[in-house]
Structure 1
Amino acid sequence: MSFASILTVLTGAADDALTLQSAAALAHAARGEVKVVLAPPLAVIGDWAGGPDGFGVAPVVREAARTTQAALRRGVEALAREITEQLGLDIGEDAGRIVLVEEQSAHSLDLSRLALLTDLVVVGRMTLQTLGPWSGLVADALLAARVPVLAISSAPDEASAVAVIAWNGGSSAARAVRAALPLLKPASRVVILQDPEHLRLSDRSTTDPERLADYLRLHQVRDIEIYVETGGMRADGLVRQARNWDAGLVIAGAFEHSRLREDILGGVTASLVAESRTFNLFFAH
């Protein structure tokens, strides 16, 4: 598998440039394409103002929202040109090009149509945390279309150092591993982390980390280490171990509890997004 069709969301956050650069590098390796959705937070004002009465939005506020949106688009267009030049991307088809395809507010973000034929969603950690774990980004792409998400926190060349897999033998974790193979193969070391307290009875027949190690070796993934630790799959435990191993990438299944429970209690996935400042986070549902 390769990431030839990548979707990214830019909101004007401080890590937009890093996010787009990471997405472009992955698409370039597959001679694919990056589709960029612009979702500036202030665009919601334009949504409100579009009603019959403008919802009471003052003209000066509407103008400020339009100015912000235009500035974001100009900035992203300039950034795309700069990245295209840096990576030596051609302008022909199938050459890793960057295309701006959508512009909508973060308030009403809906990726359901675009996500259906997407290999990977790449988004900055700051954007993902700001939009919230149950935004259209996650609910539509990750849950409905079953598209994996890569939350970017570090530069692309740092992401191939050490990769950590949070392994509980569940279907979400397995889908995350399969989807992340293009990122696992170049990793200098892969650590399979398992927490005995995090294993469900229904998954015990598939939880053996040695089975996962054998699967990875079939895909030419080398230097694999298995680490079993009680409490290691809690968000704080996983973050701590990732930092101890100087990991550039953490791979995990996402939202394995019910949506309501995750929404109310936060859950491991949301906690990982909040704490993944030193590593990239790859997850699938």
Structure 2
Amino acid sequence: MSYASILTVLTGADDDALTLASAAELARTAHGQVSVVLAPPLAMFGNAAQDPNGLGVPPASREAAQNAQAELRRGVEAMAREVTGQSSPGVESDAGRIVFVEEQSAHALDLSALAPFADLVVVGRMTLQALGSWSGLMTDALLRAQVPVLVISGARGELGLGAAIAWNGSPAAARAVRAAMPLLKAATRVVILQDPAHLRASERVIAAPERLVAYLRRHGVSEIEVESRDGLSRYDGLVRQARSWDAGLLVAGAFEHSRLREDVLGGVTKSLIVHGRTLNLFLAH
């Protein structure tokens, strides 16, 4: 698998440039394309201004929204020119190209028409945290289209460092591993993190780390370690142990509990997004 069709959402957050550069680098490797959705937080006022009744939006608010949209587009276009100008000699000029496909409101983001044709969604952690765990980005990409999401938190070079896999044998965790294979193969080493106390007896056979090790080796991943200990089903344990192995990437299944349970009790996925500031996250549902 490769990431020839990458979708990214930019909102004017401080990590937009890092997100766009990371997406372009991955697309360039696959000789593919990055499709950019601009979603400024104030765009809903600009949309409302098109209504004949104006929906009661004050002129100053409409002007502010329009200025925010224009400023975001100018800034991202400048980022795109800089990123595409950084291609290494010998790389096809069309590889990793960046195109603008949509402009939407961050408050009503709808990726339902775009996500099914993406191999990967790349988003900055600051943008995702601002949009929310149950935003259109997460529900349309992860939950409906089942497209993996790469959450950029650190420097681009960290994607080539060690990688950690949060492994419980679930279908979501397995999908995450399969989708993340290009990144896992590029990692200097891979560590499998598992909390045996969190597994039911019926789950332990399919979740046996040895089975995952064999699968990874069939795909050419050779430097593999296994760490099995209590606490590795919680976000804090995962983050701490991943970084202790010098991992720049954590691969995990996402939203494995119901929305009600996630909302009431919180969940590992949401906590990783909020607190995993030092890790790039690769999530699949």
TM-score, reference length from structure 2: 0.96
Gapped regions of structure 1 (runs ≥ 5)? none
How far apart in 1 are the matches of 2:256 and 2:204?
16
**In the alignment, what sits opposite 1:158?**
158
**In the alignment, what sits opposite 1:13?**
13
Asked whether 1:172 is paired with 2:188, we answer: no
Q: How big is each residue's C-alpha offset from its partner over 1:240-274, in whole Å with a ceiling of 9 and x where there is no partner?
A: 11222221000000000012211232200000011
How far apart in 2 are the matches of 1:151 and 1:50?
33
- Which residue identity does 1:37 align to in structure 2? V
Measure how far apart 1:197 and its partner are. 2.5
How far apart in 2 are the matches of 1:52 and 1:229?
61
Counterpart contact for 1:36–1:99, Cα < 8 Å:
yes
How far apart in 2 are the matches of 1:137 and 1:99?
18
How far apart in 2 are the matches of 1:198 and 1:80?
44
Equivalent positions of 1:180-199 (< 5 A) are 180-199=180-199
Asked whether 1:63 is paired with 2:63, we answer: yes
**In the alignment, what sits opposite 1:30?**
30
3-state DSSP of counterpart to 2:151:
strand
Q: How big is each residue's C-alpha offset from its partner over 1:128-153, in whole Å with a ceiling of 9 and x where there is no partner?
A: 11100100000000010000000001
Counterpart contact for 1:148–1:283, Cα < 8 Å:
yes
- Which residue identity does 2:278 align to in structure 1? T
**In the alignment, what sits opposite 1:76?**
76
- Which residue identity does 1:179 align to in structure 2? A
- CA RMSD for the aligned pairs? 1.3
- Which residue identity does 1:226 align to in structure 2? V
Measure how far apart 1:87 and its partner are. 1.7
Measure how far apart 1:115 and its partner are. 0.6
**In the alignment, what sits opposite 1:110?**
110
How far apart in 1 are the matches of 2:274 and 2:138?
15
Note closer, same or farther for the CA distance 1:49–1:121 as it changes in structure 2 (3 Å cut): same
Q: How big is each residue's C-alpha offset from its partner over 1:31-61, in whole Å with a ceiling of 9 and x where there is no partner?
A: 0000000000011222333334322211011
3-state DSSP of counterpart to 2:101:
strand
Measure how far apart 1:120 and its partner are. 0.2
How far apart in 2 are the matches of 1:239 and 1:194?
13
Measure how far apart 1:201 and its partner are. 4.6
Measure how far apart 1:277 and its partner are. 1.2
Counterpart contact for 1:134–1:263, Cα < 8 Å:
no
Between stretches 253-262 and 26-35, larger displacement belongs to 253-262
Between stretches 235-244 and 185-194, larger displacement belongs to 235-244
Between stretches 137-146 and 189-198, larger displacement belongs to 189-198
Counterpart contact for 1:159–1:279, Cα < 8 Å:
no
Between stretches 215-224 and 235-244, larger displacement belongs to 235-244
Gapped regions of structure 2 (runs ≥ 5)? none
**In the alignment, what sits opposite 2:147?**
147
3-state DSSP of counterpart to 2:204:
helix
**In the alignment, what sits opposite 2:250?**
250
Counterpart contact for 2:239–2:279, Cα < 8 Å:
no
How far apart in 1 are the matches of 2:37 and 2:151?
15
How far apart in 1 are the matches of 2:129 and 2:236?
17
How far apart in 2 are the matches of 1:246 and 1:44?
42
**In the alignment, what sits opposite 1:54?**
54
Measure how far apart 1:276 and its partner are. 1.6
3-state DSSP of counterpart to 1:282:
strand
Note closer, same or farther for the CA distance 1:133–1:200 as it changes in structure 2 (3 Å cut): farther
